[in-house]
């Protein structure tokens, strides 16, 4: 029979809860396990607390909390529950940090303007069923191919009652994964479920990843997906004239770079004449600078790019890294941007998002909204049960609806 170690187990639970409340490392390779354990604990703290309580009850019945060491273990476990509860309450209270930046950048009436579009969509498609089951929104045909390669696959998310001639707004979701994973499943499900629920069509893609593939294959596939959408999305009831792009982490990098390099032949080999422009971009906790080695984790990041993604040293190939950096591709005619980043992001430190948004604001003639979410870890929008995932979906829909409404008003 294995030896029971209630005190060690309780200490581990408390450490995990504390890491979810505040990341225990902010620099170097330790940030990877800090993120891996802290992210689910932070976003799903009620589930962790419920599971811990049930397990504590089971262990209490078998006598794990007897004696001095047992009582100390129970005390530490109870403190962990308090930390998890405070983490959840803090997450629930974060809604203003999503809404206030929109109000500041777009005006106090942004919600009323956005509601005009949302109301018209509701009249057109009916009341949203408010059902977050993924398969409700995926075409029965399942996967489509947007390019010639086996990896060029995409899921089409749409309501089954969406008319084929409905001219629904379209969102392209670019997955993250350090340019080495890039799987469309299960990323951004809360956002895409919410938008599909409200009459949008969402396209979620796979793309070529490293180390098997080499930059710029990743962005070429994203551009190819945009070209496919412009040519084919009307067949699914989508509007090729209203296509927006989003993505988190590496997807935040790729989505922002795509938005800032519309129709750039450098990233469109063999389809240089295709339209790859977007109406708006929503990068979330992305990497925007592939050049600078200054800041927490930057040296490790540049080393990773040189070895696995670009596969060329930055010395002697600096322009390749510059061209891949959204921070170096800023332009006055950039589409509207909504940039989101968590303050406690241990994978991509928050200054990356903050500095990119500030630099873009100084150049772009379009609105740039920046939401910095207190205490949020990397991938804060990932889980259905997370309050931040819910707030992210609502805020992104409000921003994109505002963009749609203002475009319609400008067009008369």
Give me the active site residues, please.
249, 345, 378
Helix (H, G, I), strand (E, B) or coil at 141: strand
Helix (H, G, I), strand (E, B) or coil at 208: coil
**CA gap 170, 278 in Å, rounded:** 10
**CA gap 36, 18 in Å, rounded:** 14
Give the Cα-Cα-Cα angle 171, 169, 163 (nearest 5 degrees): 120
Nearby residues of 318 by Cβ (< 8 Å), 6 or more positions away: 291
Q: What are phi and psi of 213, to 5 degrees?
A: -110, 160
Q: What are phi and psi of 26, to 5 degrees?
A: -125, 5
Contact 156, 139 (CB under 8 A): yes
Q: How far is CA 143 from CA 38, 119, 121, 138, 404, in A?
A: 33, 31, 26, 9, 28
Nearby residues of 296 by Cβ (< 8 Å), 6 or more positions away: 26, 27, 349
Structure tokens, 90: 């803090």
Contact 167, 125 (CB under 8 A): no
Q: Which one, of 380, 165, 178, 361, lies nearest residue 284 by Cα?
A: 380
Contact 260, 329 (CB under 8 A): yes
Please compute Rg for the chain using Cα positions: 23
Q: Which residues pair with 339 in a beta bridge?
A: 370
């Amino acid at each position: 029979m294995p030896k029971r170690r209630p005190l060690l187990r309780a200490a581990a639970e408390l450490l995990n809860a504390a890491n979810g409340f505040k990341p225990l490392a902010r620099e170097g390779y330790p940030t990877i396990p800090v993120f891996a354990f802290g992210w689910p604990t932070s976003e799903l703290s009620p589930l962790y607390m419920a599971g811990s309580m049930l397990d504590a009850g089971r262990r209490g019945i078998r006598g794990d909390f007897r004696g001095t060491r047992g009582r100390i273990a129970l005390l530490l476990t109870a403190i962990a529950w308090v930390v998890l509860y405070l983490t959840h309450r803090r997450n629930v209270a974060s809604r203003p940090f999503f809404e206030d930046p929109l109000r500041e950048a777009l005006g106090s009436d942004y919600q009323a303007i956005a509601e005009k579009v949302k109301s018209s969509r509701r009249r057109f498609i009916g009341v949203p069923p408010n059902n977050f089951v993924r398969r409700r929104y995926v075409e029965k045909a399942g996967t489509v191919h947007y390019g010639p390669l086996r990896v060029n696959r995409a899921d089409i998310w749409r309501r089954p009652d969406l008319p084929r001639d409905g001219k629904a707004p379209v969102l392209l979701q670019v997955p993250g994964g350090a340019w080495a994973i890039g799987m469309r499943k299960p990323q951004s499900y809360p956002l895409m479920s919410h938008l599909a629920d409200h009459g949008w069509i969402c396209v979620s893609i796979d793309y070529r990843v490293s180390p098997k593939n080499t930059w710029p294959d990743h962005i070429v596939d994203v551009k190819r997906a945009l070209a496919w959408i412009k040519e084919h999305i009307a067949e699914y009831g989508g509007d090729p004239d209203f296509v927006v792009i989003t993505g988190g982490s590496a997807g935040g990098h790729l989505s922002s770079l795509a938005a800032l390099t519309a129709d750039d032949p450098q990233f469109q080999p063999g389809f240089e004449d295709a339209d790859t422009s977007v109406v708006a971009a929503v990068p979330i906790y992305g990497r925007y600078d592939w050049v600078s080695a200054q800041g927490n984790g930057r040296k490790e990041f540049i080393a990773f790019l040189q070895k696995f993604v670009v596969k060329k040293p930055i010395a002697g190939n600096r322009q390749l890294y510059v061209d891949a950096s959204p921070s170096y591709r800023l332009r006055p005619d950039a589409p509207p941007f909504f940039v989101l980043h968590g303050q406690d992001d241990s994978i991509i430190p928050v200054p990356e998002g903050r500095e990119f948004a500030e630099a873009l604001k100084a150049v772009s003639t379009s609105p740039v909204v920046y939401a910095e979410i207190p205490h949020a870890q990397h991938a804060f929008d990932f889980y259905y049960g997370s309050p931040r995932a819910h707030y992210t979906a609502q805020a992104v829909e409000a921003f994109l609806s505002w963009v749609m409404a203002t475009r319609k008003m400008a067009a008369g």
